[in-house]
């Protein structure tokens, strides 16, 4: 990876809270006790891969108090009945007509049987307006709003990695730019660059009135930030399995949430890139960047932007060989929560969380992130202009 981009994408280890079932009631002294008849989410040290998490960010999350008015609020959430499905890559009959980048990748195999329980899911991505409410109430500062500590950063990068210029250690995030068509595609830093001052309030790094973007999906949000918001809202991030189950919406073995029609034939189904990544975007679907949530039709479960607009964080660590591992150990994987640590083919030192759903920068010539089974990953302390999140809420067994 580019020496400049690498330390930006892999900043710190992580730490976090987990969400327990309603069998784990708060103590009688807990002010949330009387409001936990349906759902209860409390801090815990039992999240998978805790050893790879950073205490600095765990403390920030632990300081968040759930909003008492949101403990049982399912407004703008969709109830999803659990079930069994086949998780993993689908190869269409017309595969020979598609570029390799538009087809299933090795980490999407083998296809395997998964069962998930009932859950609620936000009907659209968390918006800037919703995140603003959270920040106003808690005073929370996102990772992108904090300067980078080189002493912490160098513990994760390969030994001997030179210290980045001080300008790259200032508070900020990664911003996308279209580049000339002769620009090589072998270096992500050609189109992603670090912009000091970029954050959820001005995702492109250019100051704009917040009221202009209140209905946009909030971006430049790290996994930590998403977890902090989820705790405040008494929700959690979806597992990778829950996300794919919701994306498929009851349809078996289809490439996309809308079926098997090629993306070029269904531009009205989501906010994707029309053109040639990373050089041009014609905006045929009406948008060059993010679109206001709900701008495109929902899938069969009533979920908006479950494919396209912005990538969305999940709870799981990324494992390149995870599907192979669980397929060898069980015929039915029940509520899988991912591996206990990141496994990568090339970057063995990486710590990455799974993101799903694709974004406004996806098309078949690059990432095809809008496919049901497409998996991508990102360092959990990274904020990017095309990454956001939505939350879910577990349903107790007796409900």
Preceding omega of 9 cis (within 30 degrees of 0):
no
Closest to 359 in 3D by CA, of 349, 350, 369, 351: 369
- CATH classification for the domain delimited by 5-394, as one of 3.90.1580.10, 3.30.750.24, 2.60.40.2130, 3.40.50.740: 3.90.1580.10
pLDDT at 45: 59
- What residues in the chain have per-residue pLDDT under 70? 1-47, 50, 156, 265-267, 398-399
Domain ranges of the chain: 5-394
> Could you tell me where the DSSP H helices lie in the chain?
5-9, 55-62, 128-138, 150-153, 223-232, 240-248, 322-329
Contacts of 11 (CB under 8 A, 6+ apart): 143, 148, 152, 153, 156, 379, 381, 382
Distance CA 192, CA 176 (A): 5
pLDDT at 92: 85
pLDDT at 265: 66
Distance CA 361, CA 271 (A): 9
pLDDT at 374: 97
Q: Which tokens belong to 108?
A: 């999407």
pLDDT at 125: 98
pLDDT at 342: 94
pLDDT at 266: 62
């Amino acid at each position: 990876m580019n020496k400049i981009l690498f330390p930006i994408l892999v900043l710190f280890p992580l730490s976090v809270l987990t969400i327990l079932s309603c069998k784990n009631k708060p103590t009688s002294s807990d002010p949330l006790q009387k409001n936990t008849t349906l759902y209860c989410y409390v801090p815990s040290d039992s999240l998978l891969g805790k050893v790879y998490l950073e205490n600095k960010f765990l403390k920030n999350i632990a300081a968040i108090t759930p909003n008492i008015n949101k403990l049982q609020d399912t407004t703008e959430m969709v109830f999803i009945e659990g079930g069994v499905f086949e998780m993993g890559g689908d190869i269409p009959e017309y595969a020979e007509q598609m570029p390799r980048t538009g087809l299933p990748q090795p980490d999407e195999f083998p296809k395997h049987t998964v069962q998930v329980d009932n859950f609620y899911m936000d009907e659209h991505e968390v918006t800037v307006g919703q995140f603003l409410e959270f920040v106003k109430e808690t005073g929370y500062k996102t990772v992108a709003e904090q300067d980078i500590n080189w002493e912490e950063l160098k513990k994760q990068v390969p030994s001997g990695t030179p210290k980045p210029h001080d300008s790259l250690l200032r508070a900020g995030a990664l911003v996308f730019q279209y580049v000339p068509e002769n620009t090589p595609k072998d270096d992500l830093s050609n189109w992603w660059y670090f912009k000091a001052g970029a954050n959820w309030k001005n995702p492109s790094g250019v100051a704009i009135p917040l009221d202009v973007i209140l209905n946009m999906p909030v971006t430049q949000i790290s996994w930590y930030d998403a977890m902090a918001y989820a705790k405040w809202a008494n929700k959690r991030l979806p597992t990778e399995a829950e996300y794919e189950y919701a994306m498929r919406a009851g349809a078996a073995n289809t490439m996309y949430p809308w079926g098997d029609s090629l993306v070029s034939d269904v531009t009205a189904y989501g906010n994707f890139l029309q053109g040639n990544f990373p050089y041009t975007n014609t905006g045929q679907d009406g948008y060059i960047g993010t679109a206001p949530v709900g701008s495109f039709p929902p899938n069969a479960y009533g979920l908006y932007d479950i494919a396209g607009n912005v990538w969305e964080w999940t709870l799981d660590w990324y494992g390149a060989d995870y599907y192979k591992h669980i397929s060898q150990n069980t015929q039915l994987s029940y509520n899988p929560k991912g591996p206990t640590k990141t496994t990568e083919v090339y970057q063995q030192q990486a710590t990455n969380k799974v993101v799903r759903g694709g974004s406004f920068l996806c098309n078949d010539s690059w990432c095809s992130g809008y496919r049901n089974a497409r998996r991508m990953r990102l360092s959990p302390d990274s904020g990017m202009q095309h990454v956001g999140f939505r939350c879910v809420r577990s349903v107790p067994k007796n409900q």
